[in-house]
Structure 1
């Protein structure tokens, strides 16, 4: 029964037999590693707090998306950031904030640098991509803060701002001046926008009004807490495993997640000290609905269990499907499609060769 199915796949995707074989090898490797990790044991434990309650409050969901294209001599990008307020007040429509950012960086420059060079030397392409990510985070924090202030003014209550991503992703300044080409004019502007971003994060976090919610996690914060290991020739071999997989395994073994089905609740918080800039981050993992996904929640500052519980309840109220609806809607509104971006460039009279035209016809 398997051969006809494989033949159909080959015909429909034009995949060669060696590609199908390589995919089978990937499958075998995945199953092998899952089986191996299933034998993980733990030296320590972590507290899980089952929680069915929720707390109604005003919230703001924030997300952004961006698209870019490298042409033969210019790098173009477009960013959209959206903040969506939620709550039972008709005036909140005014607090929906949508903004955008864009730029064009020319990358065709002379092969020499002299004092007579009149124009600024642009950064290399790898730095341009970092600029795009930097500006997207600036835009998210900015629209989130504007919506926050609007909601607070209208309803007289401070909303909870939910950001898509992790606190560690928003805090660092990723540009080292020694890595930037001489004459790079944006370095001061980027530093100032980052400083403004950090000030907003600190201000909202001091009131427990800002949380970061991450869907995908590869961090290993809980490995130090749980101390996982496998036995090899009767010896304990300590291992590092991504938190969500590790926590799922631990809670299933403890029969907290019965039959492997996740239940609403959250972990005790763990503390991470960000080195540069020095900032304390409180991290916990949460499930908002039975059988739902597990998400990493991070908050800037040292938060106790009571604050963590309050934050969890406020998020859970807006997560009937297991994921915060304000973030889902912000993602939907902010979405930029690459093909739409290219069409808009053409409609605007911008046509620049990328070199890929021969493959796109």
Structure 2
């Protein structure tokens, strides 16, 4: 099943393999996507669906150096180069819309102000990537430092952030993206509203589960009205506790979130599973409950092998599978998986920042299997 087409709404994928969002920190001045990024994504266009790296919806939404935005005309123009290149290679690409919330630093914020969150809580040990020299992704030096203490959003500020998401979705369509994904996982802003231990508000956006889901629902509804139901997905991380976001009753919370998103009619939910070595496996009972409660397309990303992906598809837990880090070093990953070919190893020292090295210079496997060549743009 992994190598068969799949259709949801107006989108038909060439296979069921997803390249999920992966921050690579190579945007140019002004947080603009570059020609090099267009080459990188087009090399990987044989994925059934590419979801772009996290793309901040505003300057306030940025949490790491050299990440791209989608809130200025120049950024829209930069992303148009990427989408044109992916489409020319026969691919489909969604933009992941991103607001990091508290996972930021004052040096990345407009006017060096404090980051914002659902609540004024610091996630100790959660670090962000900043430019230590100011020379940009190719000549600069990145440094990981503790995120700055956030302030709680005033209730009258929240509609403005919902509007930023909607405008970012309009910009994504103008940039040629086939759809958008809301980043509601990994401890970022939407997740900071959902999870009980990251949200201590006592207004209509905090306290009860219904209140903690309100921000997610408002953003999803606003973006759906811009792009249409089949062109929006939402990424959630139900059973992981990344970036200090912890929920007291995660299964109940995220089944309720899935039900709400199903009522809105979003095209897919993208479940982020733990993807590190020896990561715990998400219980089958939870996957079955999620399938029963949510009527749309389900995408799972995590530490998947070809065999594990086929199992998830065959058992009906998932419709599409994201492979993550293997796509960094294997631009032809679908071909390698289909033919059981060995995978290149990624150079972790070049994951963030820099130029073509460790980004667009990973080789494809030749049909003869005797040697490898640089991936074509």
Q: Structure 2 length normalisation: TM-score?
A: 0.28
Structure with bigger strand share is 1
Structure with more relative contact order (C-alpha pairs < 8 Å, separation 6 or more)? 1
Q: Rg larger in 1 or in 2?
A: 1
TM-score scaled by structure 1? 0.29
